[in-house]
Amino acid sequence: MAVTFWIFIPSQRQVFMKILQVITSLRVGGAEKLIVDMVPLYREDGYEADVLLFDGSDTPFKRELEEKGGRIFELDKNVNIYNPLFISKLIPYLKRYDVIHTHNTACQYFTVCAKMLTGSKVKLVTTEHSTTNRRRSIGWLRPVDRFIYGNYDSIISISDSTTDFLGAYLGRKEKIRTIYNGIPLSAFLHAESLSREKLGTEGKFLITLVAGFREQKDQDTVIRAMAMLPETCSLCLVGDGVRRSVCEQLVKELHLEQRVVFLGVRGDVPCLLKTSDVVVMSSHCEGFGLAAVEGMAAGKPGIASDVPGLAQVVSGAGILFPVGDARRLACEIARLMHHRDYYRQIAGQCLQRAFDYDIRKTADAYEKVYESVYRA
């Protein structure tokens, strides 16, 4: 008599967990970019992964995620993200997901409050995206922060320095796990260059900085460096934000209107970086520096301010300069301009470093955290 054996081969990932990413918006930023790149990977791996926005305003990142098949919910549009009414609006979502992963202060605080009000058993994960923030300079908020973070089942930080600073601030590190940010390498490796004529930078040595116009990002230093560089240099500033008008005024004061281009928020950043000669980040502080990795993955020399987070990514591959030192920055750019062998050396080192930050590695590490807290 013939005997038939049925062999069950499990799929790579079974659908057993529902995960909700909660963030204030999908405007320009490293945390926002990470969600846009990671959520589709979670869904490919068999998880039900959605995104909830406090501010659901239309943005290039939001459109990109929707085009990738991501499901996005929103609490409101163009509103104060610190409105405590969001606490009650969060409550229905606690019942629908197994793990809720928060990003940014308002989401971190309000999600904990919603869970406490309902007695929900949902597991909470949060990511710390910066080495510092304004809250930490307000003494009475420290015990509040300790309480809020204490209600999370796991805390992820994006760099070793971010982990160290947060651990020292909270007085404990046992719940904190360091997972480096990542990027979809192929999108930058194989991006196509744009027309420099259309960018208004034809025939120029092109420097690019991608960042929101916030105090932290310090576009001012790069603009001042431009005033010390020859007319053959152009600067593209990609992004938007509250300090854009301040930077535009500085460009006028330094008579750089013909050499500095404000491109606003763009959906073709890989192509812009591929078109550039040098990619700069001049931040006063940075948890990781995703834009630095993106520039290196495009095969360009990366120059960054010597701050924790950024230094970890760039040191030993690209070039570091003292925070706010426009003269030193100008000297480093000039050296790359005039010494082609040196340029090729730095570009090659940066490209090699970029391979350490593949988004697939990041997604796998996050999924292990979700599984761990879910099963606990």
Reply yes or no on whether the pLDDT at 8 is more than 80: no
Q: What's the pLDDT band for 289 if we cut at 50, 70, 90?
A: confident
CB 139 within 8 A of CB 352: no
Q: What's the pLDDT band for 294 if we cut at 50, 70, 90?
A: very high
CA count, 13 A, side-chain hemisphere, 225: 30
Q: Which residue has the tokens 């535009």?
A: 248
Reply yes or no on whether the pLDDT at 14 is more than 70: no
Interval 139-154: pLDDT, tens:
899 999 999 999 999 9
Contacts of 253 (CB under 8 A, 6+ apart): none
- Nearest Cα neighbor of 209 from 117, 299, 279, 303 is 279
Interval 78-109: pLDDT, tens:
889 999 999 999 999 999 999 999 999 999 99
Q: What is the mean pLDDT of residues 275-288?
A: 94
Interval 31-61: pLDDT, tens:
999 999 999 999 999 999 999 999 999 998 9
**Residue 370 belongs to what H/E stretch?**
helix 359-375
**Cα–Cα distance, 293 to 263 (Å, whole number):** 20
Q: What's the pLDDT band for 111 if we cut at 50, 70, 90?
A: very high
Reply yes or no on whether the pLDDT at 13 is more than 70: no
Residue 260 burial (10 A CB sphere; 0-12, 13-18, 19+): buried
Dihedral of the alpha carbons of 198, 199, 203, 206, in degrees to the nearest 10 = -160
Residue 7's pLDDT is: 40
Q: What are the φ and ψ backbone dihedral angles of 89, each rounded to 5 degrees? A: -70, -20
Interval 322-369: pLDDT, tens:
999 999 999 999 999 999 999 999 999 999 999 999 999 999 999 999
Output the average pLDDT for the chain: 93
Reply yes or no on whether the pLDDT at 28 is more than 60: yes
- Nearest Cα neighbor of 46 from 70, 21, 8, 14 is 14
Residue 66's pLDDT is: 96
Q: Which residue has the tokens 């979502």?
A: 93
**Residue 20 belongs to what H/E stretch?**
strand 18-23
**Cα–Cα distance, 252 to 269 (Å, whole number):** 26
Percentage of the chain exceeding pLDDT 90: 84
CA 248-191-259 angle, to 5 degrees, is 25
Question: Token digits for 24?
Answer: 């204030």
Residue 136 burial (10 A CB sphere; 0-12, 13-18, 19+): middle
Reply yes or no on whether the pLDDT at 11 is more than 50: no
Q: Order of strands across the sheet with 123-128?
A: 71-76, 48-55, 18-23, 99-103, 123-128, 154-157, 176-178
Pick the more confident residue, 72 or 13.
72
Reply yes or no on whether the pLDDT at 10 is more than 50: no
**Cα–Cα distance, 183 to 279 (Å, whole number):** 16
CB 356 within 8 A of CB 289: no
**Cα–Cα distance, 20 to 49 (Å, whole number):** 6
Residue 2's pLDDT is: 40
Question: Token digits for 193?
Answer: 């260059």
Reply yes or no on whether the pLDDT at 4 is more than 60: no
CB 128 within 8 A of CB 105: no
Alpha helices of 151-281 — where are they, by DSSP H? 160-170, 185-189, 196-199, 219-226, 244-253, 269-275
